[in-house]
Amino acid sequence: MGEFKVHRVRFFDYMPSGIRALAFNQDTERMAVARMDGSVEVFHCSDRFFQEKIIPGREQCGIEGLSWVGERLFSAGLNGGITEYDLTNQKVKYTIDAYGGPIWTITGNQQGTHLAVGCEDGTVKLFEVNEDQIQFERNLDRQKSRIISLSWHPSGSKIAAGMMDMIQVFNVETGHSIHRMLADRGAGTSRSKECVVWSVVYLSDGTIITGDSVGMVKLWDDQTGTLIKSHNVTKCDVLALSVSQNEDSLVAGTSEGIVVQFQFVSMVLEKDDKEWVRTRTFRNHTHDIRAVAEITTAVVSGGMDAQLVVRPLLDKIEVRSAASALRKIHFPHRRLVSCARKSGLMLFQYPGHLELWRLGESEGKGTPGSSLFVKRNPEKLLQLKVKGEDHIRCSAVSPCGGWIVYSTASTLRLYRLHCDNNNISITKISKLPKVLSSANQLCFSSDSSHLFSASAQSSVHIASLSQSGCKFVGTLKPKSGSHQAIHLLAASEDGKWLASANSDHEVHIYNLQTQKAHCTVPVYSSAVTAMGIHPATNCLFMMHADQQMFEYSIEQKQYTDWSRTVQRKGLHRFWVERDTPCLNVMFNPQNPSHVILHDMYMLCIIDQSLPLPDDKTQFYNQLTLKSLTEEQRKSQSHAFKVCKTFKDRPLHLYVCGLSEEVCFIKRLQIVPC
Amino acid sequence: MVETSDIRVVRCGGSKVNLTPPIISSDSRFVLCTSGDLVKVYSTRTEEWLHSLQGHTNQVTGITLNPANHLQVYSCSVDGTVKLWDFIDGILIKVQLVEVHETVEIFLSSGLCVSACPECFQLVSVHLPKSAEQEVEAKEMSAVSSHISKNPSCTAFGRGGEYIAFARHLQLNVYFFRKQKTYSFSLKATDKKGAKNAFTCIACHPTDDCIATGHEDGKIRLWRNFIHKKEYTYSTQHWHHNAVNTLCFTPEGTHLLSGGIESVLVQWQYGADNRKEFLPRLGGSILHISASSDGQLFCTSHSDNKITVIESSFKVCGVIQGLVKDAVLTDLMIDPRSKALVLNGKPGHLQFYSLLRDKHLYNLDIVQQEYIYEAGLDQFEVVKAAFDIKGSWLATVEERGKKSSDLEFFLKLWAFDERTQSFVLNTTITAAHTDRIISMCFSSSEETTMLVTAAEDSQFKAWCQGADADTQQDQNFWSCDFVGSYHKLNPTNCSFSADSSLLAVSFQEVITIWSPDTWEMLTTLCQPPGVIRDLCFGRLSCSKYLLGTTTKNLLCCWNLLTCELEWSTSVDVSKLQPDPFSENVAAFSYQSKHTDLFVFKPSEPRPLFTNKNVCSEKVHRAVFVPREEPLNSCDESTQWLNRSQLYFLTQNMDLLTFSTATEEDRMLSSSKQLVIDDSVAVTPFYLLLGKHRQQQQKLNTQSHPVSDKPQQTQGSVTIKELLHTPAHVLPAASVLCSMFVNSFLISNTGVQQDPLSWLT
């Protein structure tokens, strides 16, 4: 496996922020997630829930609702504005004010023509969705209390609104209220408290289902405006409801962290009189569930504990496979850590600031497995707060440790770092080329002489760095293809090649000497989650969300023989069934046949010189190998060497490759406030 | 050999009433439950035993109301028959012989009976033929599945008998009769959280297609949509901390009742699952629950052989207590006053149980300490008890400490108080002996009462009632009169002769004979090898004989006049029981995995009666219960049962007895009588009168279950008179009525005061 010096980095206490809203787009199979810090993420449901797009948030921008209209995504929040997102370039397209005070909910009709928002002042405002913008159309009858939740009837002619202590049904044509249904307050002391109708769902058969702060899921008839049935789900609040596409299943998320499923089941078999019956209970959350969504094959829920839980519904799944397993997504599928390999610096990216740390140093060489004496403790050199309200989208530290760069949605800032022993000074490079105004992904060349900045239209800008400053060199543009934003960049060690991957799964390779597009890797159906260019052979190694791996020879413009062998023989079942994507591809400088991969829970070294395991061989064979003699070990070992624990503790990590060191970045337990 | 065909072993009296779920008649007036070979009918209001349905020749294993006629009940038995009864009159209507070996459980729905046979445990659907004959053979059978549990609670009919749901271990199966198709669903044995998912019981909703299943870890699952292989669904509820023993839907399906070891009846509201009600502290763990068809009454049967009748408002309104046989440590005894069977009952109590009326009389608290229901605690238990010949004294020994090192025991003497009609503690002796008391007996003479205790400290002590010199009170307390021992040997048994002139105490292999008047050892008898196990004197004409059994399978009979061994035979006797009303002695011997019974007179070594293979377990406890009215059988083999009835307790805690053919004939003839009455043509007038007569009959049976025949004839005279008068000459109804009512009045002379009535 090779010997490494291991740094245990326990000072990156990144805290993901809680999930506030979910919106599922049936046609594109995308799940949009809004977090408490205002960021919006898009997950691809059929591609193993890979986090395709991240739109960073802003300060003071609490999103309360998300809604898809066709392939357009809208959000509304307590700042009173409705925001449309530019998903191609992963940024906010525009924000317009609804002039109704804080907005509590936003929902689009199924026809895709209108958006309805519920405001603090008691109005339901209808917006017409035009080609390029949305336009205010009119208000429905104004109510006395705030509108907490909204749901369109699938025909688009009626809207049900959940408010304080009541539910109103509006006719969209006239704008008048048809029914007013009172929600009961809780018994005992909570009688004095208002009953908040947190969530409402309008079914096509005219049933209105509400979840409220008393803990009830109530079913109402919209013809008569009467209560049909009520289910006491919990002692506290029912915060979220979601109905499946064919309206035979409903999930309710509660503030106890429980998701309760209701099913529309015929009470007498093979007869049509169906009723909503409480069936299953899912307990995967530790804190309040703020949003649930029932997609075709699974229940997705998210809440204050910041994890997105995908709970498969086994009765809807044809074949049980790794793609349909229970999935918990805690952390972004992006690298938030970059490191300066030559100087031992690490840059941690938080939403609102950056931290630069110098790793500790140790004396001499120890035997494998022993811990070394720490000569110098790790040290926090710098904390850099972001100017403005936007959160950081991407950041990088140059391999030499002399440059730091970060970008928000609006600005890109480059700093020169002077570091002589204990004196650290930082100077902002003031005159940046105009094209470097904002970046989707940032990367330095290996000799730290160039900065690559991925920007709009899938293009990459090159800037050369020198003592005097930063100078624009040129722009790399793909020959053809989509204009989706680039989310990964990889530069080769010799400074000759640059690879970029965008969210349409395209990987372009550019020749940096000619500044021309060199070639395009054949498009694979799954997203690229990590890639790297081998320093010796200049082969591009790519990891995909479905755990497949490819090695592409840049010079020969074709897949390498090893990659073809992998594809022909297939990967081991255990490898494919892992549920987090690989986040980093590194290479062992001492042994060119070693490729180092890691995901959230494990570190894997692939030895390309060893045979590939087939489904019959033992995949996790480290312990078995240890007990064997040298010769037996040779016959038993295979290409995948997986390390899941370090010092008997499970890894929970980002791994960064230094020259001959590996940093395990251990994270703190996530405890939401 | 003597013919044994007309004497058979029956379960009659003191049987388990909790074996199957009790059923409540549709008018909520009666509770029916199986009890040994009988089906018993109790009143829900008075908790009294009304009558029993007698006719099965083996354990009744299931009862269910006839869905076509709610006044009839089907019962099935291990004897392989299914019988249809009119349970109000106690008439056998129909017998169906089922061709499987033993029907074990019956479930009925719309004329279709499903039974299981024990060897392979198959679920068989038996088509009950519709025929007018009284005895028919059911031949049309089809096997449903062999994948069923031995526990009958794991099988239930769904909505109107459309399907049947049954489970075994981790698999639930639903069989649709019309489609003849089975759907099965499996659960995982355990999961990460340590759930134990094995099925323990099933109930089906009466109108909806919803199956409730109970599980080993206390979960209750409600299954729906079970005609889909994949889209079936269930919801889970959890309250019980241990296995759910039983589930029951109320007839309207609005509630689900569940019970388990917690002995808490839980009522779940159907559809609103977290609304539940509890009825705690019901006694033993709940085994079965049933509900009446109007939903007004629930019945729970408990592990302590009890049926509790509960109103729908969750109020206990009646308790039907059977004989408690959980841990019997004392011998079976007969209280000479009440003629009740006495043995361990509730923990720390002695129970008094009337076998004649098959009724629990009362519990006598011996230990007088709070019993703590927790496993592993060492608590006082009554281990020995003895009555004197008149029933005015009761001696008990309570003991704590499994190991002899921390043994703690008390000898208590209880006097019968005429005023309160119960036993009152007279003397407590804390250190009667230095070691465990082995045996204890009262002298059998009428004049002086004396108690002899033999203990492991190689002594026997005689206790007498004497005036306490210090207090000078009238009340007499018990004190030690004599301490005897023999060569430091440990005594094994002690016994008084019938006239109390001799006391025999066995010390290991040696029997010593003492005179209680002078406390002089008269002689020793010895027949090695083998320690003496049982010891008894002959009665009446055989009082010169002393019988003893040894551990080396020897039954010896000594003649006390000659002090010589009269005869001996090699038989492994596990229990020797003399009949106090005759010379007869019953001996149970255990050989090659079954128990044989020998009844003999000590004067002759030839047995009067033998019954091979009485049961398959060892018998350690038996008792002769005096009959209320003696039989007058002249047959030599049944003569010994004329004056008393022999009851014995097997290791499975089954209380069995012997019944003779004459006895059964008498019972049957009384029920036949009713059948003939029934064959009178049905006219509207007959119906009117018939109703009256039923009420009258019930009146009679309630108050005097035994002596109901004289009034029967009296009543029927009036009825016949009415019947034979042509309708057009009948007087007005008001005149008729008073005459009718008058005929019900019972003349005082015919009825004897029930000797036990003070107990009720």
- Report the residue of B209, B222, B268, B276 to disrupt the A interface, i.e. the one with the largest count of A CBs within 10 Å: B209
**What percent of chain A has pLDDT above 90?**
41
- Report the residue of A277, A316, A318 to disrupt the B interface, i.e. the one with the largest count of B CBs within 10 Å: A277
pLDDT digits (tens, 9 = 90+) for B91-143: 787 777 765 555 555 655 444 555 555 556 777 777 777 766 777 777 677 77
For residue A277, the distance in angstroms to the closest alpha carbon of chain B comes to 7
Rounded to an integer, the average pLDDT of A542-556 is 91
Q: CB A98: neighbour CB atoms within 10 A?
A: 22
Residue from A267, A162, A141 nearest A220 by CA: A162
- Statement: residue A490 has pLDDT above 70: yes
For residue A323, the distance in angstroms to the closest alpha carbon of chain B comes to 19
pLDDT digits (tens, 9 = 90+) for A29-44: 999 999 999 999 999 9
Band of the pLDDT at B374, cuts 50, 70, 90? low
Chain A CB contacts of B256 under 8 Å are none
Long-range contacts at A121-128 (CB < 8 A, ≥ 24 apart): A121/A146, A122/A146, A122/A147, A122/A163, A123/A147, A124/A150, A124/A159, A124/A161, A124/A170, A125/A98, A125/A100, A126/A172, A127/A82, A127/A98
* B209, B227, B233 member nearest A263 (Cβ): B233
3-class DSSP assignment, residue A194:
coil
Contact A261, A251 (CB under 8 A): yes
Rounded to an integer, the average pLDDT of B184-206 is 84
Question: A465 vs A396, A400, A411, A434, CA distance in Å?
Answer: 14, 12, 18, 15
Residue B744: phi and psi, rounded to 5, are: -80, -20
Residues facing residue A655 across a β-bridge: A664
Residue from B560, B564, B554, B418 nearest B502 by CA: B560
Nearest CA in chain B to A269: B209
Chain A CB contacts of B230 under 8 Å are 314-315
More confident site: B613 or A56: A56
- Statement: residue B742 has pLDDT above 60: yes
Band of the pLDDT at A452, cuts 50, 70, 90? very high
More confident site: A273 or B637: A273
Contact A362, A378 (CB under 8 A): no
Rounded to an integer, the average pLDDT of B215-244 is 88
- Statement: residue B757 has pLDDT above 50: no
Instruction: Please indicate whether, in this complex, the C-beta atoms of B209 and A278 are within 8 angstroms of each other.
Output: no
Residues facing residue B669 across a β-bridge: none
Instruction: Please indicate whether, in this complex, the C-beta atoms of A315 and B232 are within 8 angstroms of each other.
Output: yes
Contact B621, B332 (CB under 8 A): yes
Read out DSSP for B433-495? SSS-EEEEEE---SS--EEEEEETTTEEEEEEEEE-TTT--SSEEEEEEEEE-STTPPEEEEE
Residue from A262, A219, A214 nearest A235 by CA: A214
Band of the pLDDT at A102, cuts 50, 70, 90? very high
Rounded to an integer, the average pLDDT of B735-748 is 74
Residue from B529, B530, B487 nearest B512 by CA: B487
Instruction: Please indicate whether, in this complex, the C-beta atoms of A229 and B271 are within 8 angstroms of each other.
Output: yes
The per-residue pLDDT of chain A, averaged, comes to 86
pLDDT digits (tens, 9 = 90+) for A345-377: 888 899 889 999 888 777 766 666 677 777 788
- Spatial neighbors of A173 by CB under 8 A, at least 6 apart, are A157
pLDDT at A672: 32
The two three-digit tokens of residue B568, written as one number: 């001996």
- Statement: residue A544 has pLDDT above 60: yes
- Statement: residue A218 has pLDDT above 90: yes
The Cα A447–Cα A495 span in angstroms is 8
The Cα A64–Cα A428 span in angstroms is 36
Instruction: Please indicate whether, in this complex, the C-beta atoms of A314 and B230 are within 8 angstroms of each other.
Output: yes
Residue from A397, A367, A326 nearest A656 by CA: A397
Q: In A432-578, where do the E strands start and end?
A: 441-444, 450-455, 459-465, 470-476, 486-491, 497-502, 507-511, 516-521, 528-533, 539-544, 549-553, 558-559
Band of the pLDDT at A2, cuts 50, 70, 90? low
Q: What is the 3-state secondary structure (H, E, C) of A23-86?
A: EEECCCCEEEEEECCCCEEEEECCCCCEEEEEECCECCCCEEEEEEECCEEEEEECCCEEEEEE
More confident site: A70 or B683: A70
- Report the residue of A279, A280, A320, A324 to disrupt the B interface, i.e. the one with the largest count of B CBs within 10 Å: A279
- Report the residue of B176, B225, B270 to disrupt the A interface, i.e. the one with the largest count of A CBs within 10 Å: B225
Band of the pLDDT at A253, cuts 50, 70, 90? very high
Rounded to an integer, the average pLDDT of A84-108 is 92
* A269, A281, A314 member nearest B236 (Cβ): A281
Band of the pLDDT at A433, cuts 50, 70, 90? confident
pLDDT at A668: 35
More confident site: B373 or B619: B619
pLDDT at A366: 67
The Cα A338–Cα A664 span in angstroms is 13
More confident site: A644 or A508: A508
The two three-digit tokens of residue A442, written as one number: 């940032």
- Its pTM surpasses 0.90: no
Residue B674: phi and psi, rounded to 5, are: -70, -35
| Residue the block writes with tokens 């010189």 | A609
pLDDT at B707: 40
| Residue the block writes with tokens 């901390």 | B241
The Cα A620–Cα A638 span in angstroms is 10
pLDDT digits (tens, 9 = 90+) for B623-682: 988 888 777 777 777 778 888 888 888 887 788 888 877 777 766 665 554 444 444 455
pLDDT at B452: 92
Indicate the residue type of A551: E
- Statement: residue B458 has pLDDT above 80: yes
ipTM for the assembly: 0.78
Chain A CB contacts of B233 under 8 Å are 263, 265, 277, 279-280, 315
The two three-digit tokens of residue B336, written as one number: 């000479």
Helices and strands of chain A, counted as H and E runs: 4, 59
The Cα B195–Cα B192 span in angstroms is 8
- Statement: residue A123 has pLDDT above 90: yes
pLDDT digits (tens, 9 = 90+) for A393-402: 999 999 888 8
Rounded to an integer, the average pLDDT of B228-249 is 88
Indicate the residue type of A589: P
The Cα B237–Cα B255 span in angstroms is 14
More confident site: B694 or A172: A172
The Cα B434–Cα B415 span in angstroms is 25
Indicate the residue type of A37: D
Rounded to an integer, the average pLDDT of A42-49 is 90
pLDDT at B328: 85
More confident site: A570 or A365: A570
The Cα B83–Cα B97 span in angstroms is 8
Q: What is the 3-state secondary structure (H, E, C) of A567-632?
A: HHHCCCHHHHCCCCCCCEEEECCCCCCEEEEECCCCEEEEECCCCCCCCCCCCCCHHHHHCCCHHH
pLDDT digits (tens, 9 = 90+) for B468-487: 555 555 567 888 888 988 88
| Residue the block writes with tokens 């989509």 | A482
Rounded to an integer, the average pLDDT of B12-35 is 86
Interface subset of A 230-259, CB within 8 angstroms of B: 230-232
